[in-house]
Amino acid sequence: MRFSKMHGLGNDYVVIDGLNQNIAEQSLPRLAREMSDRHFGVGSDGIIVVLPSKVAHFRMRIFNPDGSEAEMCGNGMRIFARYVHDHRLTPRRELEIETLAGIIRPKLQLRAGKVSAVVVDMGAPRLERKEIPMKGKGGRPLRERLRVLGERFEATCVSMGNPHCVIFVDDVDKFPVERFGPVIERHDLFPRRTNVEFVQVLAPTELRMRVWERGAGETLACGTGGAASLVAAHLTGRAGRKVTLHLRGGDLKVWWNPDDDHVFITGPAEEVFTGEWPGNRD
């Protein structure tokens, strides 16, 4: 089975062409666990599979290293868009991709015929508790009080097609993400678990973020998390509608359009190498 190793700001994935290869979709959770292993596999934050769609140009399935399936991934979507372009699966520069979070629309930016960046229309944020989903009475969970490991936090929760819990901190570089991230991910408030963003406000147009991803642990970047962080920062009066988001893997441009309520992220995607995975590893 042929694959490509790609990344978006260090958020790395194994990409598999399910159009021109026979892929047993029931085996994808196991395949994600095996290929994502950084010691015995390829090493990645998960796998992305390119599949045919009846309602869009392509369908994307994305699996975390623990084998769980994610609804969507912003960095993964940029990777997906560049993959189908560079591997000549489509001549289109504006795409519609079917995901578990709905139809997502990435747009390729080209320079001298090569992809320089991908803009992803992430759609409108979902702000009600039941949409995230999150336990508790109805309403928007803004500045929600959260007690974890004896510490009190203020959390604002958002869905970008997948759940996010955004917590603002004074110094994100020194914050113990590895201590609090896994506990918040599995907090009783979140029936489907949650991604957790720890965000430092540098200016109304500039944020710094670290992320603990559901099913993957801390990663170098997260596109949906970046979108959720801007939404949370704006709703709590910490930022405007357009920011530069500094991640451990690089910078994202994030914009929340007031006209249609959609959030847009812009950033790079790169291919690292290609390879072949044996059909039987037993």
Q: Which residues are catalytic?
A: 73, 222
Q: Directed axis angle between helix 223-235 and helix 74-86, to 10°?
A: 140
CA distances from 227 to 101, 146, 156, 182, 262 (A): 14, 21, 13, 21, 10
Q: Can you give the C-alpha Rg of the chain in angstroms?
A: 18
Distance CA 41, CA 19 (A): 23
Q: In the chain, what is the straight-line distance between the N-terminal and C-terminal CA atoms, in Å?
A: 15
Whether cis (ω within 30° of 0) applies to the bond prior to 133 is: yes
DSSP string, 161-188: SSEEEEEE-S-TTTS-HHHHHHHHHT-T
Q: Contact at 8 Å (CB) between 158 and 141?
A: no
Residue that is written with structure tokens 């973020």 in the block: 209
Structure tokens belonging to residue 130 = 């039941």
Burial class (CB in 10 A: 0-12, 13-18, 19+), 179: exposed
